[in-house]
Amino acid sequence: MNYQNTLAFATALDEQDELKDLKKLFLVPQNKGKDVIYFCGNSLGLQPVTAQQYVLDQFANWKNLGIEGFFEGDDPWLGYHKKLTGILANLLGAKKDEVTIMNSLTVNLHLLMVSFYKPTSKRYKIIMEGGAFPSDQYAFASQARFHGYDPKEAIIEIFPREGESILRTEDILKTINNHADDLALVLFGGVNYFTGQFYDIEAITKTAHKVGAFAGFDLAHAAGNVLLNLHDWDVDFAAWCSYKYMNSGPGGISGIFVNEKHFNNQSLNRFEGWWGYREDKRFLMTHDFEPEIGAAGWQLSTSPVMLLTLHKAALDIFQQAGGLEPLRAKSQLLTGYLEFLIEQINQNKGEDVLRIITPKNKDERGCQLSIVCKNNARKTFDFLTSHSVIGDWREPNVIRLSPVPLYNSFKQVFDVAGILAASLGEN
């Protein structure tokens, strides 16, 4: 696409956009009576208009049906999560049985590590991205300690080369190969929260398997953002959260992927609970555990129905959009336009005042651009905020902006670039 730095061009792209009406399905925070420009879907997605009604419907069921709500009504609570797994499986490139909805992300990472981190005195190391989201660092280190290993020894973090911001796939694969003899698990991000880099999940998985390790992924910033093919890529397991690109509410319920080849893998440990027990026999309350077939066998507790309804409100919109493919196509155009306009600012200034550290290749990133401000970083961010642009700030000098195809427009991208330019003119 040959982008142009004009309002007319941005407006024309919006007019051609077949997904433009989807934004009406979301509630946008207000400032001085007007919608803000919300470029923060990487941290917390916006509220679907229907979310409140979905919850109210279940309040009514609870009121009218009491315990019978599990079995009666339009949406019986028992098995409610199954209404969502089909859509979710499509978003993740998984088979329906490979996906289930439960808990939240860090909890699920721990539970999946119970199954897939089985260290032995010879193979006990975990490879992860350097500078991963802190919760992942804490989770992996505490798992290593739980098994009696020193995290400093057991956990291998891969960092970008000196002077570079993003990881080279060749370096990731080389590190895996270098640990061919002592590696238990590669547990990587899908999209890095700080740089927005989308890793080559397929290549990482293949190399991990070649050396005899499991490959799992934290898809917090990938799910609902980029196209995934977890099943075909032969990923062993994955977890994500639903409140970022999946718009399912703060602390919303998340889910797991377990590759079908592990459904009957008796060598895997699993923490068990009654909600993972075969649904058709669950209420017989028998003694010995018989798991549900598929990822659902990893469930533990009664599903929180109110959270499931919020998740459904959000996933229904992905369904309405025709799945992730059209959204991804728009997303690449939107983010590409923001990148183009930022480069224009740099050209006008004669230097990279706004240095984008997210990969230039649009297939190696999602919605987000991470921008290092050369001067007056915090002032620039505050200027954006005071002009009703909601992005997010990462110390010491990075602004993350994530135009989201479900509810952001080309005109908003144009406006944000104009506000950035004005800010740099001032400071």
Ligand X SMILES: *Cc1c(COP(=O)(O)O)cnc(C)c1O
Q: Which residue ranges are tagged as binding site for pyridoxal 5'-phosphate?
A: 105-106, 133-136, 218, 221, 243, 274, 302
Half-sphere exposure (Cβ direction) of 272: Cα atoms closer than 13 Å: 12
* Burial category of 393 from C-beta neighbours within 10 Å (exposed 0-12, middle 13-18, buried 19 and up): middle
Q: How far is the CB of 422 from ligand X (least distance, A)?
A: 31
Q: How far is the CB of 10 from ligand X (least distance, A)?
A: 30
Q: Which of residues 379-408 bind ligand X (CB under 6 A)?
A: none
| Residue closer to ligand X (CB basis): 109 or 384 | 109
Spatial separation of the C-alpha atoms in residues 365 and 252, rounded to whole Å:
24
| Residue closer to ligand X (CB basis): 193 or 410 | 193
Q: How far is the CB of 41 from ligand X (least distance, A)?
A: 12
Spatial separation of the C-alpha atoms in residues 108 and 49, rounded to whole Å:
28
**x/- contact string, 209-248, with ligand X (CB under 6 A)?**
---------x-xx-------------------x-------
| Residue closer to ligand X (CB basis): 257 or 383 | 257
The residue type found at 116 is F
Q: How far is the CB of 21 from ligand X (least distance, A)?
A: 29
Q: How far is the CB of 135 from ligand X (least distance, A)?
A: 4
Q: How many Cβ atoms are within 10 Å of 146's Cβ, its own excluded?
A: 13
| Residue closer to ligand X (CB basis): 236 or 392 | 392
Q: How far is the CB of 123 from ligand X (least distance, A)?
A: 25
Helix (H, G, I), strand (E, B) or coil at 101: strand
Q: Which of 13, 105, 184, 317 binds ligand X (CB under 6 A)?
A: 105
Q: How far is the CB of 107 from ligand X (least distance, A)?
A: 7
Spatial separation of the C-alpha atoms in residues 252 and 248, rounded to whole Å:
6
- List the end-to-end C-alpha distance of the chain, in Å, as a whole number: 32
189: contact with ligand X by CB under 6 A: yes
Strands 183-189 and 125-129: parallel
Q: Which of residues 35-74 bind ligand X (CB under 6 A)?
A: none
Q: Which of residues 110-169 bind ligand X (CB under 6 A)?
A: 133, 135-136
C-alpha distances (whole Å) from 89 to each of 78, 260, 281 are 20, 13, 25
Spatial separation of the C-alpha atoms in residues 108 and 300, rounded to whole Å:
11
Number of chain positions touching ligand X (CB under 6 A)? 12
Q: Is the peptide bond before 396 cis (omega within 30 degrees of 0)?
A: yes
| Residue closer to ligand X (CB basis): 17 or 218 | 218
Helix (H, G, I), strand (E, B) or coil at 232: coil
| Residue 114: strand pairing partners | none
The residue type found at 243 is Y
Helix (H, G, I), strand (E, B) or coil at 279: helix
104: contact with ligand X by CB under 6 A: yes
Q: Which of residues 3-22 bind ligand X (CB under 6 A)?
A: none
**Which residue ranges make up the site for ligand X (CB under 6 A)?**
104-106, 133, 135-136, 189, 193, 218, 220-221, 241
